[in-house]
Amino acid sequence: MRIDRSSNVRSNRRVRWSGQGIAVDDGALPGLERIGLVRSVRTPQFDGITFHEVLCKSALNKIPAAAMLPFRFTVNGYRGCSHACRYCFARPTHEYLEFDPGEDFDSQIVVKTNIVDVLRRELGRPSWRRETVALGTNTDPYQRAEGRYELMPGIITALAASGTPLSILTKGTLLRRDLDLIADVAQQVPVSVAISLAVGDADLHRAVEPGTPSPQARLGLIAAVRDAGLDCHVMVAPVLPHLTDSTEDLDRLLGLIAEAGATSVTVFGLHLRSSTRGWFMTWLARSHPELVAPYRQLYRRGAYLPADYRDMLRERVAPLIDKHGLARDHRQFTPVASPVVVPEPQPTLFDVAPEALRPSSRPRA
């Protein structure tokens, strides 16, 4: 075992941190070993978070064609997300690493420290067809870890240098740091920026998205994106049944989003699959026990809201979008071409109910 105490770095895989102390754990981290763990780090600046630095073998993830998404490639520099949204669709991916999908997902953050080099190599292959690459479809690229590791400037620059269009989806106000770069890059390749904002109430935000910037801060971010000369799409998703789906709440939120300068919006409801469902329902039982029965009824057939609810939401939202002068998603993406690499499969935010993929409402990042 070798520990560099000055940098608070763990360099032996069989040692796990517990609070500020060190404890030996014979169980090690086989899931992390599989994906190239180099070291695990805790620093006082990121209390409660452990960064697991890995050397990835591939950077471009190919989305299965069956997903019917408007893009086929994604890049994710991180696994796990300190934004800690209770409803996060990506939680089950942490189980592949033998972490739990609840608190570990929020606090055990995998960082692909060599991702920019690997990405450059993959983008340089003659077979790369310069299809749009989506950033932020699995975990948030501007979560707190990005303040330490600064992967995004290199990723964005590499994509632009290869002539590859890109889209960015985030809740993180750290995006402001890169706005000048993104605006520059947008002169070279098509760039789409989207902010996720679906909870306008401050108390509910603190409860259900505890690690994310406040709704007010994200409205400011939308304005900053527009000030940088970029269009700004807003994902009003997921809408939470009985919590954020009233006409009044949606009207107020869409009004604020329009006022901030957003150019277009996509709205769709919560889906709850596998371990995300358990994590969310545990929170719901504690915070809103009166809603447990209605949610069980709504999701009795599986991960997606029933068709009548989806129809209701669509009909409720359509006039509000018009009222506030917002556009539906109209962004263009490059057509599908041939595949490049096939790394680990990952669910995405766009793993949505089939009706949301119809042309009029298809969510895109």
Q: Which residues bind ligand SF4 (CB under 6 A)?
A: 81, 83-85, 88, 90, 139-140, 143, 171, 212
Residue 139 C-beta: closest distance to ligand SF4, Å: 4
Residue 109 C-beta: closest distance to ligand SF4, Å: 10
Cα 173 off chain centre by = 13
Residue 144 C-beta: closest distance to ligand SF4, Å: 10
Residue 170 C-beta: closest distance to ligand SF4, Å: 8
Q: For ligand SF4, which is the closer residue by CB, 88 or 116?
A: 88
Q: For ligand SF4, which is the closer residue by CB, 137 or 361?
A: 137
Q: For ligand SF4, which is the closer residue by CB, 113 or 139?
A: 139
Largest CA distance in the chain: 63
Q: For ligand SF4, which is the closer residue by CB, 197 or 320?
A: 197
Under 8 Å CB-to-CB from 161, ≥6 apart: which residues? 123
**Ramachandran sector of residue 148 (left: φ over 0; alpha: ψ -120 to 50; beta: rest):** alpha
**Per the structure block, which two tokens stand in for 19?**
């609070």
Residue 163 C-beta: closest distance to ligand SF4, Å: 28
Instruction: Give yes or no for a contact between 91 and 105, defined as CB atoms under 8 angstroms apart.
Output: yes
Under 8 Å CB-to-CB from 132, ≥6 apart: which residues? 70, 71, 73, 164, 165, 166, 167, 190, 333, 334
Q: For ligand SF4, which is the closer residue by CB, 70 or 141?
A: 141
Q: For ligand SF4, which is the closer residue by CB, 282 or 297?
A: 282
Other Cβ atoms less than 10 A from the Cβ of 362: the count is 18
Residue 84 C-beta: closest distance to ligand SF4, Å: 6
Residue 338 C-beta: closest distance to ligand SF4, Å: 29
Residue 261 C-beta: closest distance to ligand SF4, Å: 22
Query: For 22-60, b where at least 16 C-beta lie within 10 A, e where not — what string?
Result: beeeeeebebbeebbbbbbbbeeebeebbbbbbebebbb
Residue 169 C-beta: closest distance to ligand SF4, Å: 8
Q: For ligand SF4, which is the closer residue by CB, 122 or 136?
A: 136
Q: For ligand SF4, which is the closer residue by CB, 123 or 365?
A: 365
**Per the structure block, which two tokens stand in for 356?**
């949301």
Q: For ligand SF4, which is the closer residue by CB, 264 or 348?
A: 348
Q: For ligand SF4, which is the closer residue by CB, 327 or 353?
A: 353
Residue 89 C-beta: closest distance to ligand SF4, Å: 7
